[in-house]
Chains A and B, each alone.
Chain A
Amino acid sequence: MQNSHIHTVFVCAAVLWLAGCATPATRQALVVDDTSFSAKNPYSVSVSASGGGETGAMDYTNISNENLAGAIKESIVKTGLFTSVVKSDDADYKLSVSLISMSKPMFGLDFKIDMEMAWSLVNTRTGEAVMRESIKSSHTATPSDAFVAATRVRLAVEGAAQSNIRQGLQKIAELSLN
């Protein structure tokens, strides 16, 4: 009797534990590779990201700075927006993207994530900020996307971030860089 009691508690604990297990947004899901821009800037760019964070097991899905920067770099390469993405300060342009806010719905069937990122592009030669944009995006994940709530949240976060990256790159493509 007592053993079955303890067994039940262990099962409940495991269920509660697993139900709350958040997984971080993956880099690959944020990459924009379905768009090609007519603007092909003959310059190099460096990319940095901030405002993201790690995802704890009982925390909410988050985007790490490493994954955000990595996805933007890969998107730039795939869309051909700049000639090259470099690591050093020798780049012609410096792109800084900061995750400012992300809504975190806790309950519901449909999870809608609203996100805001700050995009700034600086000409490293002149020091001039050629772009400073607040870009807002959102994405909704439904039970048809994923049955498990934690997965649905991750998909919504990834969708909102990818949409933000797409809009950010589109804004850069509209600039006349020199």
Chain B
Amino acid sequence: MIENYKSRFVIALLAVLVLLHGCAINRATSNIDPTTDLSSLKIFHVRKNIADTRGTNAIIEDKLAERGFRVSEAETGVDAIITYVDKWFWDITFYMLELTITVRDPKTDFPLASGNSYHTSLSRKSPEGMVDEVLTNIFFSEQKQGAENAK
């Protein structure tokens, strides 16, 4: 009887280890083109990703406004256009697994800067937290190229 419990305990432990391995990867990176001065950018337009059904564009707009930037509804007359790709995953509930935000030249679409955050299930953040992290890394941090802290 005791041996049976021991066996089940070992099986359960292994199953948990296998399931959780890789479930706590955190990565936050940002890149700024060396020919770009981000401090000159004040007015942005967030271009909605057609695949986005969760309103991530609105969160980005709110977070930009919180930081004192102007957000325009139109793509014309802005200093930069923001594009993004949000990837969601399910683990008990849906959560934002990865978010990439790119700041683009409104005339050429050239990527002036970009930031990426990747948080797996155990270290998941709210969508607002993900947007916050990416924007902070792009606009308010020293350039972090390929920085990561995988646990």
Contacts and interface: CB of A to CB of B under 8 A. Distances in A.
B111 A12 contact: no
B63 interface: no
Contacts of A146: none
**Size bracket, chain A contacts:** 35 or more
Interface string B24-62: 010101010111000000000000000000000000000
- The prevalent SS among residues of A at the interface is mixed
Contacts of A50: 31, 143, 145-146
A59 B22 contact: yes
A143 interface: no
Interface centre among A10, A100, A133 (most CB of B within 10 A): A100
Interface stretch (B7-15, B122-130, B134-142): B7-15
B146 A98 contact: no
Given A5-B11, A17-B21, A51-B146, A132 B33 contact: yes
- The prevalent SS among residues of B at the interface is mixed
A54 B108 contact: no
B114 A100 contact: yes
Contact of B18 (A16, A64, A98): A16
A20 B22 contact: yes
A53 B29 contact: yes
A9 B11 contact: yes
Contacts of B35: 96, 120, 122, 129, 132
Nearest to A102: B100
A177 interface: no
A49 B69 CA distance: 29
19 contacts: A5-B11, A9-B14, A13-B14, A16-B18, A50-B31, A50-B146, A51-B31, A52-B146, A54-B148, A58-B21, A65-B145, A96-B33, A98-B114, A100-B31, A104-B87, A116-B111, A118-B31, A122-B34, A133-B110
For the complex of A and B, the 3 pairs showing the least CB-CB separation, nearest first, are: A58-B22, A50-B145, A2-B7
